[in-house]
Structure 1
Amino acid sequence: MLTELRPGVFARRDPEGAAAPVIFDIPRSGAEYPRDFRSIAALTDLQRSISMYVEECYADVTRAGATWLYACFPNAYIDPNRHALDIDPAALDGEWPEALKPSPKTSAGIGLIPMVCAGTRPLYDGKLSIADVRNRLDNYYLPYHGELARLLQAARQKSGVAYHLSCHSMPAVAASGPDAGQRRSDFDLGDRNGTTCAPELVEVVEKTLAGFGYKVTRNAHFIGAECVRQHGNPAGGIHSLQIEMNRGLYMDEAARTRRPELGQVRDHLTAVATAVAALAGRA
Protein backbone atom coordinates (compact mmCIF):
# COMPACT_ATOMS: atom_id res chain seq x y z
CA MET A 1 0.00 0.00 0.00
CA LEU A 2 1.30 3.44 -0.95
CA THR A 3 1.66 5.80 1.99
CA GLU A 4 2.42 9.41 1.04
CA LEU A 5 3.67 10.59 4.40
CA ARG A 6 4.79 14.00 3.16
CA PRO A 7 2.88 14.94 0.01
CA GLY A 8 5.19 16.21 -2.70
CA VAL A 9 8.26 15.16 -0.69
CA PHE A 10 8.32 11.39 -0.24
CA ALA A 11 6.07 8.37 -0.46
CA ARG A 12 6.60 4.94 1.03
CA ARG A 13 5.34 1.42 0.43
CA ASP A 14 5.69 -0.88 3.39
CA PRO A 15 6.43 -4.63 3.17
CA GLU A 16 3.68 -7.07 2.31
CA GLY A 17 3.76 -9.80 4.93
CA ALA A 18 6.87 -10.36 7.03
CA ALA A 19 9.24 -7.41 6.85
CA ALA A 20 12.85 -7.88 5.81
CA PRO A 21 15.58 -5.37 6.77
CA VAL A 22 15.82 -4.28 3.14
CA ILE A 23 15.09 -0.76 1.87
CA PHE A 24 14.98 0.33 -1.76
CA ASP A 25 15.24 4.09 -2.20
CA ILE A 26 14.36 5.84 -5.47
CA PRO A 27 15.76 9.39 -5.08
CA ARG A 28 15.92 10.80 -8.62
CA SER A 29 12.68 9.80 -10.36
CA GLY A 30 10.19 12.30 -8.89
CA ALA A 31 8.16 14.54 -11.19
CA GLU A 32 6.00 16.55 -8.79
CA TYR A 33 7.28 20.09 -9.35
CA PRO A 34 6.96 22.32 -6.25
CA ARG A 35 4.84 25.43 -6.76
CA ASP A 36 7.75 27.71 -5.94
CA PHE A 37 9.96 26.23 -8.67
CA ARG A 38 10.68 28.95 -11.22
CA SER A 39 12.70 27.81 -14.22
CA ILE A 40 13.22 29.15 -17.70
CA ALA A 41 13.84 25.64 -19.06
CA ALA A 42 11.28 23.86 -21.22
CA LEU A 43 9.46 20.97 -19.57
CA THR A 44 10.81 18.56 -22.17
CA ASP A 45 14.35 19.51 -21.15
CA LEU A 46 13.55 19.29 -17.44
CA GLN A 47 12.15 15.79 -17.92
CA ARG A 48 15.44 14.62 -19.42
CA SER A 49 17.02 15.01 -15.98
CA ILE A 50 14.59 12.56 -14.40
CA SER A 51 15.29 8.84 -14.15
CA MET A 52 11.83 8.08 -15.46
CA TYR A 53 9.84 4.98 -14.46
CA VAL A 54 12.46 3.65 -12.02
CA GLU A 55 9.85 3.70 -9.27
CA GLU A 56 7.63 1.46 -11.43
CA CYS A 57 10.45 -0.98 -12.10
CA TYR A 58 10.90 -1.50 -8.35
CA ALA A 59 7.21 -1.27 -7.44
CA ASP A 60 6.87 -4.93 -6.41
CA VAL A 61 9.87 -5.25 -4.09
CA THR A 62 7.43 -5.00 -1.18
CA ARG A 63 6.21 -8.51 -2.10
CA ALA A 64 9.62 -9.76 -1.00
CA GLY A 65 9.29 -8.00 2.36
CA ALA A 66 11.30 -4.92 1.38
CA THR A 67 10.39 -1.28 1.96
CA TRP A 68 10.08 1.09 -1.04
CA LEU A 69 10.91 4.80 -0.55
CA TYR A 70 10.40 7.37 -3.31
CA ALA A 71 11.33 11.06 -3.56
CA CYS A 72 8.33 12.79 -5.17
CA PHE A 73 10.15 16.01 -6.13
CA PRO A 74 12.36 16.25 -9.24
CA ASN A 75 16.11 16.21 -8.89
CA ALA A 76 16.19 19.33 -11.10
CA TYR A 77 14.78 21.17 -8.05
CA ILE A 78 17.21 19.66 -5.54
CA ASP A 79 19.18 16.46 -6.00
CA PRO A 80 19.06 13.95 -3.11
CA ASN A 81 22.08 12.19 -4.58
CA ARG A 82 24.40 15.14 -3.93
CA HIS A 83 26.07 16.34 -0.73
CA ALA A 84 24.15 19.05 1.15
CA LEU A 85 27.03 21.52 0.68
CA ASP A 86 27.70 20.71 -2.98
CA ILE A 87 26.59 24.21 -4.03
CA ASP A 88 28.19 26.73 -6.38
CA PRO A 89 28.62 29.97 -4.39
CA ALA A 90 28.46 31.91 -7.67
CA ALA A 91 24.87 30.69 -8.13
CA LEU A 92 23.72 32.31 -4.88
CA ASP A 93 22.45 35.84 -4.35
CA GLY A 94 24.14 36.14 -0.99
CA GLU A 95 26.62 34.28 1.21
CA TRP A 96 25.93 30.81 2.58
CA PRO A 97 26.39 30.69 6.39
CA GLU A 98 28.95 27.89 6.27
CA ALA A 99 31.78 26.82 4.00
CA LEU A 100 30.49 25.21 0.80
CA LYS A 101 32.02 22.11 -0.78
CA PRO A 102 31.42 22.37 -4.53
CA SER A 103 32.43 19.24 -6.42
CA PRO A 104 33.28 18.67 -10.08
CA LYS A 105 29.56 17.93 -10.56
CA THR A 106 28.80 21.47 -9.41
CA SER A 107 31.32 22.82 -11.93
CA ALA A 108 29.34 20.96 -14.60
CA GLY A 109 26.11 22.54 -13.37
CA ILE A 110 24.68 19.38 -11.81
CA GLY A 111 25.41 19.75 -8.10
CA LEU A 112 22.92 19.80 -5.23
CA ILE A 113 20.97 22.59 -6.95
CA PRO A 114 21.32 21.87 -10.68
CA MET A 115 21.86 24.92 -12.86
CA VAL A 116 21.50 23.14 -16.20
CA CYS A 117 19.35 20.36 -17.59
CA ALA A 118 19.45 18.29 -20.79
CA GLY A 119 23.22 18.73 -20.72
CA THR A 120 23.51 22.46 -21.37
CA ARG A 121 20.09 24.11 -21.00
CA PRO A 122 20.11 26.77 -18.25
CA LEU A 123 17.51 26.36 -15.52
CA TYR A 124 17.50 29.97 -14.31
CA ASP A 125 18.07 33.46 -15.68
CA GLY A 126 19.63 34.76 -12.46
CA LYS A 127 20.97 33.79 -9.06
CA LEU A 128 19.03 31.95 -6.37
CA SER A 129 18.26 33.48 -3.01
CA ILE A 130 19.64 31.98 0.18
CA ALA A 131 16.07 31.56 1.45
CA ASP A 132 15.08 29.59 -1.68
CA VAL A 133 17.95 27.13 -1.37
CA ARG A 134 17.42 26.81 2.40
CA ASN A 135 13.76 25.96 1.77
CA ARG A 136 14.71 23.22 -0.67
CA LEU A 137 17.11 21.72 1.84
CA ASP A 138 14.88 21.98 4.90
CA ASN A 139 11.60 20.92 3.34
CA TYR A 140 12.65 18.39 0.67
CA TYR A 141 16.23 17.11 0.83
CA LEU A 142 16.61 16.72 4.59
CA PRO A 143 13.18 15.12 5.21
CA TYR A 144 13.87 12.55 2.49
CA HIS A 145 17.27 11.61 3.89
CA GLY A 146 15.83 11.70 7.39
CA GLU A 147 13.18 9.13 6.50
CA LEU A 148 15.74 6.92 4.77
CA ALA A 149 18.02 7.09 7.80
CA ARG A 150 15.10 6.30 10.12
CA LEU A 151 14.12 3.23 8.10
CA LEU A 152 17.68 1.91 7.98
CA GLN A 153 18.31 2.46 11.68
CA ALA A 154 15.02 0.80 12.62
CA ALA A 155 15.80 -2.22 10.43
CA ARG A 156 19.30 -2.55 11.85
CA GLN A 157 18.09 -2.28 15.43
CA LYS A 158 15.46 -4.95 14.86
CA SER A 159 17.48 -7.39 12.75
CA GLY A 160 21.10 -6.50 13.46
CA VAL A 161 21.65 -5.60 9.82
CA ALA A 162 20.09 -3.41 7.13
CA TYR A 163 20.50 -3.62 3.36
CA HIS A 164 19.99 -0.45 1.34
CA LEU A 165 19.63 -0.45 -2.44
CA SER A 166 19.68 3.03 -4.02
CA CYS A 167 17.93 2.80 -7.38
CA HIS A 168 18.90 4.84 -10.43
CA SER A 169 18.93 4.69 -14.23
CA MET A 170 21.52 5.72 -16.79
CA PRO A 171 21.33 6.59 -20.49
CA ALA A 172 21.95 3.52 -22.64
CA VAL A 173 24.84 5.24 -24.41
CA ALA A 174 27.32 7.50 -22.64
CA ALA A 175 27.30 11.06 -24.00
CA SER A 176 30.68 12.03 -22.58
CA GLY A 177 33.63 10.68 -20.65
CA PRO A 178 35.98 7.80 -21.45
CA ASP A 179 33.10 5.60 -22.65
CA ALA A 180 31.44 8.26 -24.83
CA GLY A 181 29.45 6.75 -27.67
CA GLN A 182 29.56 3.25 -26.21
CA ARG A 183 26.59 1.27 -24.95
CA ARG A 184 26.76 0.82 -21.22
CA SER A 185 26.22 -2.40 -19.31
CA ASP A 186 22.68 -3.40 -18.37
CA PHE A 187 23.34 -2.84 -14.66
CA ASP A 188 26.26 -1.14 -12.93
CA LEU A 189 26.63 -1.76 -9.21
CA GLY A 190 28.33 1.00 -7.21
CA ASP A 191 29.72 0.48 -3.72
CA ARG A 192 32.24 3.33 -3.90
CA ASN A 193 34.96 0.81 -4.58
CA GLY A 194 34.11 -1.51 -1.72
CA THR A 195 33.48 1.05 1.02
CA THR A 196 29.69 1.22 1.45
CA CYS A 197 28.67 -2.43 1.79
CA ALA A 198 29.94 -5.92 2.39
CA PRO A 199 30.93 -7.83 -0.78
CA GLU A 200 28.19 -10.37 -0.12
CA LEU A 201 25.51 -7.83 -1.03
CA VAL A 202 27.17 -6.97 -4.34
CA GLU A 203 27.64 -10.65 -5.13
CA VAL A 204 24.01 -11.56 -4.46
CA VAL A 205 22.66 -8.71 -6.62
CA GLU A 206 25.16 -9.42 -9.40
CA LYS A 207 24.49 -13.14 -9.43
CA THR A 208 20.72 -12.69 -9.51
CA LEU A 209 20.81 -10.18 -12.38
CA ALA A 210 23.38 -12.16 -14.35
CA GLY A 211 21.16 -15.20 -13.96
CA PHE A 212 18.56 -13.43 -16.11
CA GLY A 213 21.14 -12.81 -18.81
CA TYR A 214 22.00 -9.19 -18.00
CA LYS A 215 25.49 -7.78 -18.40
CA VAL A 216 26.46 -6.56 -14.93
CA THR A 217 29.48 -4.40 -14.07
CA ARG A 218 30.87 -3.03 -10.81
CA ASN A 219 31.87 0.61 -10.30
CA ALA A 220 32.37 0.90 -14.06
CA HIS A 221 30.09 3.82 -14.97
CA PHE A 222 29.12 5.18 -11.54
CA ILE A 223 30.75 4.24 -8.22
CA GLY A 224 27.82 5.48 -6.12
CA ALA A 225 27.06 8.99 -4.93
CA GLU A 226 25.56 10.68 -1.88
CA CYS A 227 22.76 8.27 -0.98
CA VAL A 228 25.13 5.35 -0.47
CA ARG A 229 28.00 7.53 0.77
CA GLN A 230 25.86 9.12 3.47
CA HIS A 231 23.98 6.06 4.66
CA GLY A 232 26.36 3.17 4.04
CA ASN A 233 28.12 2.03 7.22
CA PRO A 234 29.18 -1.60 6.87
CA ALA A 235 30.99 -1.60 10.23
CA GLY A 236 27.74 -0.44 11.84
CA GLY A 237 25.61 -3.04 10.07
CA ILE A 238 24.16 -0.84 7.30
CA HIS A 239 25.13 -1.90 3.79
CA SER A 240 24.40 0.47 0.89
CA LEU A 241 24.65 -0.34 -2.81
CA GLN A 242 23.80 1.89 -5.77
CA ILE A 243 22.12 0.15 -8.72
CA GLU A 244 22.33 1.92 -12.08
CA MET A 245 19.99 0.41 -14.67
CA ASN A 246 20.32 0.93 -18.41
CA ARG A 247 17.26 2.86 -19.60
CA GLY A 248 17.21 0.95 -22.86
CA LEU A 249 16.00 -2.10 -20.94
CA TYR A 250 12.62 -0.64 -20.09
CA MET A 251 11.98 2.64 -21.94
CA ASP A 252 12.29 4.40 -25.28
CA GLU A 253 14.68 7.21 -24.40
CA ALA A 254 13.86 9.37 -27.41
CA ALA A 255 10.09 9.17 -26.94
CA ARG A 256 10.31 9.04 -23.11
CA THR A 257 7.81 6.19 -23.06
CA ARG A 258 7.71 2.77 -21.41
CA ARG A 259 8.76 -0.29 -23.38
CA PRO A 260 6.74 -3.53 -23.11
CA GLU A 261 9.75 -5.09 -21.39
CA LEU A 262 9.23 -2.96 -18.28
CA GLY A 263 7.02 -5.62 -16.71
CA GLN A 264 9.67 -8.29 -17.14
CA VAL A 265 12.33 -5.99 -15.69
CA ARG A 266 10.05 -5.37 -12.70
CA ASP A 267 9.76 -9.13 -12.12
CA HIS A 268 13.53 -9.53 -12.26
CA LEU A 269 14.08 -6.70 -9.77
CA THR A 270 11.53 -8.28 -7.45
CA ALA A 271 13.68 -11.42 -7.63
CA VAL A 272 16.65 -9.27 -6.60
CA ALA A 273 14.68 -8.11 -3.56
CA THR A 274 13.86 -11.73 -2.70
CA ALA A 275 17.54 -12.69 -2.92
CA VAL A 276 18.64 -9.75 -0.73
CA ALA A 277 15.92 -10.58 1.82
CA ALA A 278 17.26 -14.15 1.91
CA LEU A 279 20.78 -12.78 2.47
CA ALA A 280 19.45 -10.72 5.38
CA GLY A 281 17.92 -13.87 6.84
CA ARG A 282 21.34 -15.52 6.85
CA ALA A 283 23.14 -12.54 8.37
Structure 2
Amino acid sequence: MDPVQIVQGDSPLVLGLPHTGTWVPEDIRAQLNAEGQLLRDTDWHIHQLYGGLIDGATMVRASFHRYVIDANRDPSGQSLYPGQTTTGLVPETTFDNVPIWAEAPDAAEVSHRVAQYHAPYHAALDAELARVKAIHGYAVLYDCHSIRSVIPWLFEGTLPDFNIGTDGGTTCAAQIEAACRDACAATGQSHVVNGRFRGGWTTRHYGRPGRGIHAIQMELAQSAYLETEDLPSEVDAEKIATLRPQLKAILTDILQAAEAAARPAPQLPRL
Protein backbone atom coordinates (compact mmCIF):
# COMPACT_ATOMS: atom_id res chain seq x y z
CA MET A 1 0.00 0.00 0.00
CA ASP A 2 1.16 3.54 -0.73
CA PRO A 3 1.99 5.41 2.50
CA VAL A 4 0.03 8.47 1.38
CA GLN A 5 -3.24 9.05 -0.49
CA ILE A 6 -3.81 12.31 -2.36
CA VAL A 7 -6.98 13.85 -3.73
CA GLN A 8 -6.07 17.00 -5.66
CA GLY A 9 -8.28 20.05 -5.87
CA ASP A 10 -7.90 23.59 -7.19
CA SER A 11 -8.93 25.64 -4.15
CA PRO A 12 -6.40 27.17 -1.71
CA LEU A 13 -7.44 24.61 0.94
CA VAL A 14 -5.30 21.57 1.75
CA LEU A 15 -6.67 19.14 4.33
CA GLY A 16 -3.97 17.22 6.16
CA LEU A 17 -4.96 13.88 7.70
CA PRO A 18 -1.98 12.31 9.48
CA HIS A 19 -3.85 10.05 11.91
CA THR A 20 -6.82 8.45 10.12
CA GLY A 21 -4.87 5.59 8.52
CA THR A 22 -5.20 2.07 9.91
CA TRP A 23 -2.64 0.27 7.72
CA VAL A 24 0.08 -1.51 9.69
CA PRO A 25 2.55 -3.57 7.63
CA GLU A 26 2.57 -7.19 8.76
CA ASP A 27 6.14 -7.16 10.03
CA ILE A 28 5.32 -4.17 12.25
CA ARG A 29 1.95 -5.59 13.35
CA ALA A 30 3.79 -8.68 14.56
CA GLN A 31 5.80 -6.46 16.93
CA LEU A 32 2.68 -4.96 18.53
CA ASN A 33 1.11 -6.58 21.57
CA ALA A 34 -2.63 -7.29 21.84
CA GLU A 35 -3.35 -3.76 23.06
CA GLY A 36 -1.34 -2.19 20.26
CA GLN A 37 -3.14 -4.22 17.61
CA LEU A 38 -6.44 -2.60 18.66
CA LEU A 39 -5.18 0.71 17.16
CA ARG A 40 -7.11 2.46 19.89
CA ASP A 41 -5.72 5.96 19.25
CA THR A 42 -6.88 6.32 15.66
CA ASP A 43 -8.56 9.56 14.54
CA TRP A 44 -11.61 7.51 13.62
CA HIS A 45 -13.55 8.39 10.44
CA ILE A 46 -12.11 11.91 10.14
CA HIS A 47 -11.50 11.54 6.39
CA GLN A 48 -15.18 10.71 5.95
CA LEU A 49 -16.26 13.55 8.22
CA TYR A 50 -14.46 16.16 6.09
CA GLY A 51 -14.91 14.52 2.69
CA GLY A 52 -16.85 16.64 0.20
CA LEU A 53 -17.41 19.60 2.50
CA ILE A 54 -15.52 22.14 0.36
CA ASP A 55 -15.46 21.97 -3.42
CA GLY A 56 -11.92 21.85 -4.76
CA ALA A 57 -10.26 21.00 -1.45
CA THR A 58 -7.08 18.94 -1.67
CA MET A 59 -6.75 16.05 0.77
CA VAL A 60 -3.44 14.48 1.83
CA ARG A 61 -3.99 11.41 3.99
CA ALA A 62 -1.46 9.12 5.66
CA SER A 63 -2.47 5.49 5.02
CA PHE A 64 -0.31 4.14 7.84
CA HIS A 65 -1.31 4.13 11.49
CA ARG A 66 0.31 6.48 13.98
CA TYR A 67 1.74 3.46 15.83
CA VAL A 68 3.90 2.76 12.75
CA ILE A 69 5.18 6.32 13.00
CA ASP A 70 3.44 9.55 13.93
CA ALA A 71 3.30 11.85 10.91
CA ASN A 72 2.48 14.79 13.18
CA ARG A 73 5.70 14.56 15.20
CA ASP A 74 9.08 16.14 14.59
CA PRO A 75 11.15 13.57 12.64
CA SER A 76 14.11 14.42 14.88
CA GLY A 77 12.18 13.02 17.85
CA GLN A 78 12.01 16.34 19.69
CA SER A 79 8.93 16.60 21.93
CA LEU A 80 6.03 18.79 20.85
CA TYR A 81 5.24 19.67 24.44
CA PRO A 82 8.40 19.69 26.56
CA GLY A 83 7.58 19.03 30.20
CA GLN A 84 4.09 17.72 29.40
CA THR A 85 2.85 14.19 28.93
CA THR A 86 2.64 13.23 25.26
CA THR A 87 3.46 10.40 22.86
CA GLY A 88 6.52 10.39 20.65
CA LEU A 89 7.57 9.87 17.05
CA VAL A 90 6.95 6.14 17.42
CA PRO A 91 4.60 5.89 20.42
CA GLU A 92 5.60 3.51 23.19
CA THR A 93 2.15 3.52 24.81
CA THR A 94 -1.47 4.36 24.17
CA PHE A 95 -2.90 7.70 25.28
CA ASP A 96 -3.77 5.88 28.51
CA ASN A 97 -0.09 5.03 29.11
CA VAL A 98 -0.61 1.33 28.32
CA PRO A 99 2.36 -0.29 26.49
CA ILE A 100 1.68 -1.24 22.86
CA TRP A 101 4.82 -3.15 21.82
CA ALA A 102 5.81 -6.75 22.38
CA GLU A 103 9.08 -5.80 20.68
CA ALA A 104 9.72 -2.05 20.61
CA PRO A 105 11.56 -0.68 17.56
CA ASP A 106 15.19 0.38 18.02
CA ALA A 107 16.73 3.61 16.73
CA ALA A 108 17.64 2.09 13.37
CA GLU A 109 14.08 0.87 12.85
CA VAL A 110 12.68 4.29 13.75
CA SER A 111 15.00 5.93 11.19
CA HIS A 112 13.84 3.42 8.60
CA ARG A 113 10.19 4.27 9.31
CA VAL A 114 10.92 7.99 9.01
CA ALA A 115 12.26 7.36 5.51
CA GLN A 116 9.57 4.89 4.45
CA TYR A 117 6.44 6.57 5.84
CA HIS A 118 6.92 9.96 7.51
CA ALA A 119 9.04 11.51 4.73
CA PRO A 120 6.75 10.52 1.81
CA TYR A 121 3.71 11.92 3.63
CA HIS A 122 5.38 15.26 4.18
CA ALA A 123 6.85 15.36 0.70
CA ALA A 124 3.31 15.02 -0.65
CA LEU A 125 1.93 17.62 1.74
CA ASP A 126 4.69 20.08 0.89
CA ALA A 127 4.15 19.54 -2.84
CA GLU A 128 0.40 20.10 -2.63
CA LEU A 129 0.81 23.29 -0.60
CA ALA A 130 3.29 24.59 -3.17
CA ARG A 131 0.93 23.63 -6.01
CA VAL A 132 -2.12 25.46 -4.67
CA LYS A 133 -0.02 28.43 -3.59
CA ALA A 134 1.23 28.73 -7.17
CA ILE A 135 -2.40 28.95 -8.31
CA HIS A 136 -3.70 31.41 -5.71
CA GLY A 137 -0.66 33.13 -4.27
CA TYR A 138 -1.40 31.61 -0.85
CA ALA A 139 -2.40 28.28 0.68
CA VAL A 140 -4.33 27.20 3.77
CA LEU A 141 -3.37 23.99 5.55
CA TYR A 142 -6.14 22.76 7.82
CA ASP A 143 -4.84 19.80 9.81
CA CYS A 144 -7.71 17.46 10.72
CA HIS A 145 -7.61 15.55 14.00
CA SER A 146 -9.78 13.98 16.66
CA ILE A 147 -9.21 12.47 20.08
CA ARG A 148 -11.20 11.00 22.94
CA SER A 149 -12.64 13.73 25.12
CA VAL A 150 -11.47 12.24 28.43
CA ILE A 151 -7.87 11.02 28.70
CA PRO A 152 -6.52 11.69 32.20
CA TRP A 153 -2.94 10.76 31.27
CA LEU A 154 -2.84 13.59 28.70
CA PHE A 155 -5.09 16.28 30.17
CA GLU A 156 -7.39 17.05 33.06
CA GLY A 157 -11.17 17.12 32.76
CA THR A 158 -13.12 16.93 29.52
CA LEU A 159 -11.81 18.32 26.26
CA PRO A 160 -13.87 21.01 24.46
CA ASP A 161 -15.61 19.96 21.25
CA PHE A 162 -13.44 22.20 19.05
CA ASN A 163 -9.74 22.61 19.87
CA ILE A 164 -8.04 25.17 17.61
CA GLY A 165 -4.25 25.20 17.38
CA THR A 166 -2.11 27.97 15.87
CA ASP A 167 0.92 27.73 18.18
CA GLY A 168 0.02 30.95 19.91
CA GLY A 169 -1.08 32.73 16.75
CA THR A 170 2.18 32.20 14.85
CA THR A 171 1.09 29.74 12.16
CA CYS A 172 -1.62 31.72 10.38
CA ALA A 173 -2.87 35.25 9.87
CA ALA A 174 -4.74 36.67 12.84
CA GLN A 175 -7.89 36.98 10.69
CA ILE A 176 -7.86 33.24 10.05
CA GLU A 177 -7.57 32.32 13.71
CA ALA A 178 -10.35 34.79 14.55
CA ALA A 179 -12.60 33.44 11.79
CA CYS A 180 -12.13 29.88 13.02
CA ARG A 181 -12.74 30.86 16.63
CA ASP A 182 -15.88 32.85 15.81
CA ALA A 183 -17.28 30.10 13.60
CA CYS A 184 -16.76 27.57 16.39
CA ALA A 185 -18.41 29.90 18.88
CA ALA A 186 -21.39 30.27 16.54
CA THR A 187 -22.08 26.52 16.80
CA GLY A 188 -22.91 26.90 20.49
CA GLN A 189 -20.55 24.04 21.32
CA SER A 190 -17.48 24.31 23.53
CA HIS A 191 -14.23 25.50 21.98
CA VAL A 192 -10.76 26.70 22.90
CA VAL A 193 -7.86 28.35 21.08
CA ASN A 194 -4.35 27.08 21.84
CA GLY A 195 -5.43 25.06 24.84
CA ARG A 196 -3.99 21.60 25.52
CA PHE A 197 -3.53 21.14 21.76
CA ARG A 198 -1.96 24.17 20.14
CA GLY A 199 -0.89 22.56 16.89
CA GLY A 200 1.42 19.66 16.17
CA TRP A 201 4.62 19.49 14.16
CA THR A 202 2.73 19.77 10.87
CA THR A 203 1.05 23.04 11.82
CA ARG A 204 4.22 24.51 13.24
CA HIS A 205 6.44 23.33 10.38
CA TYR A 206 4.33 24.59 7.48
CA GLY A 207 2.62 27.61 8.98
CA ARG A 208 4.49 30.60 7.55
CA PRO A 209 1.91 33.36 7.10
CA GLY A 210 4.57 35.84 6.01
CA ARG A 211 5.28 33.53 3.06
CA GLY A 212 1.63 32.98 2.21
CA ILE A 213 1.15 29.56 3.83
CA HIS A 214 -1.32 29.55 6.71
CA ALA A 215 -1.71 26.50 8.94
CA ILE A 216 -4.28 25.73 11.59
CA GLN A 217 -5.02 22.52 13.47
CA MET A 218 -8.47 21.37 14.53
CA GLU A 219 -8.65 18.69 17.19
CA LEU A 220 -12.24 17.50 17.53
CA ALA A 221 -13.47 15.72 20.63
CA GLN A 222 -14.66 12.32 19.42
CA SER A 223 -17.73 12.62 21.61
CA ALA A 224 -18.93 15.24 19.10
CA TYR A 225 -19.42 12.69 16.32
CA LEU A 226 -19.03 9.10 17.55
CA GLU A 227 -21.65 6.85 19.13
CA THR A 228 -19.10 5.97 21.81
CA GLU A 229 -15.44 6.76 22.37
CA ASP A 230 -14.85 3.12 23.33
CA LEU A 231 -14.16 0.52 20.66
CA PRO A 232 -15.75 -0.05 18.21
CA SER A 233 -15.77 3.66 17.39
CA GLU A 234 -18.68 4.09 15.00
CA VAL A 235 -20.11 7.40 13.79
CA ASP A 236 -23.37 8.70 15.20
CA ALA A 237 -25.58 9.65 12.24
CA GLU A 238 -27.46 12.33 14.17
CA LYS A 239 -24.28 13.95 15.46
CA ILE A 240 -22.71 13.85 11.99
CA ALA A 241 -25.76 15.52 10.47
CA THR A 242 -25.20 18.44 12.85
CA LEU A 243 -21.41 18.56 12.78
CA ARG A 244 -20.73 18.42 9.04
CA PRO A 245 -22.57 21.70 8.25
CA GLN A 246 -20.76 23.31 11.18
CA LEU A 247 -17.39 22.17 9.83
CA LYS A 248 -18.31 23.41 6.36
CA ALA A 249 -19.12 26.84 7.82
CA ILE A 250 -15.82 26.86 9.72
CA LEU A 251 -13.82 26.00 6.61
CA THR A 252 -15.74 28.52 4.50
CA ASP A 253 -15.07 31.32 6.99
CA ILE A 254 -11.38 30.37 7.19
CA LEU A 255 -11.07 30.54 3.40
CA GLN A 256 -12.81 33.91 3.26
CA ALA A 257 -10.44 35.23 5.93
CA ALA A 258 -7.43 33.85 4.07
CA GLU A 259 -8.55 35.54 0.85
CA ALA A 260 -8.96 38.83 2.68
CA ALA A 261 -5.54 38.46 4.32
CA ALA A 262 -3.96 37.93 0.90
CA ARG A 263 -5.32 41.16 -0.58
CA PRO A 264 -2.78 43.97 -0.78
CA ALA A 265 -3.27 46.77 1.71
CA PRO A 266 -5.06 49.79 0.18
CA GLN A 267 -2.81 52.68 -0.77
CA LEU A 268 -3.53 55.85 1.12
CA PRO A 269 -3.83 58.94 -1.05
CA ARG A 270 -0.92 61.34 -0.94
CA LEU A 271 -1.73 64.64 0.62
Which residue type is aligned with residue 25 of structure 2?
A: P
**CA deviation after TM superposition for structure 1 residue 234, in Å:** 1.2
TM-score, normalised with respect to structure 2: 0.85
Query: Which shows bigger deviation, 119-128 or 225-234?
Result: 119-128
Distance change in 2, residues 1:45/1:120 (3 Å): farther
1:117 is aligned to 94
**CA deviation after TM superposition for structure 1 residue 131, in Å:** 4.3
For 2:136 and 2:153, the matched residues in 1 are separated by 42
Structure 2 matches for 1:94-105, cutoff 5 A? 101=78
2:211 maps to which of 199, 216, 236: 236
For 1:134 and 1:44, the matched residues in 2 are separated by 20
Which residue type is aligned with residue 218 of structure 1?
A: V
For 1:46 and 1:105, the matched residues in 2 are separated by 28
Query: Which shows bigger deviation, 35-44 or 109-118?
Result: 35-44
1:254 is aligned to 230
**CA deviation after TM superposition for structure 1 residue 275, in Å:** 2.4
Query: Which shows bigger deviation, 227-236 or 113-122?
Result: 113-122
> Is the Cα–Cα contact under 8 Å of residues 172 and 247 in structure 1 kept in the other structure?
yes
Structure 2 matches for 1:1-283, cutoff 5 A? 7-15=1-9, 19-37=10-28, 38-42=30-34, 46-63=38-55, 65-86=56-77, 101=78, 110-176=87-153, 180=156, 182-251=157-226, 252-255=228-231, 256-260=233-237, 261-282=239-260, 283=262
> Is the Cα–Cα contact under 8 Å of residues 20 and 277 in structure 1 kept in the other structure?
no
Task: Report the aligned-residue RMSD.
Answer: 2.4
**CA deviation after TM superposition for structure 1 residue 133, in Å:** 2.0
For 1:39 and 1:110, the matched residues in 2 are separated by 18
2:267 is aligned to none
TM-score, normalised with respect to structure 1: 0.82
1:90 is aligned to none
For 1:29 and 1:226, the matched residues in 2 are separated by 16
SS in 1 for 2:27: coil
What is the percent sequence identity of the aligned residues? 26
**CA deviation after TM superposition for structure 1 residue 14, in Å:** 2.7
Q: Deviations over 1:208-234 (max 9, x none)?
A: 222222222101121111011111111
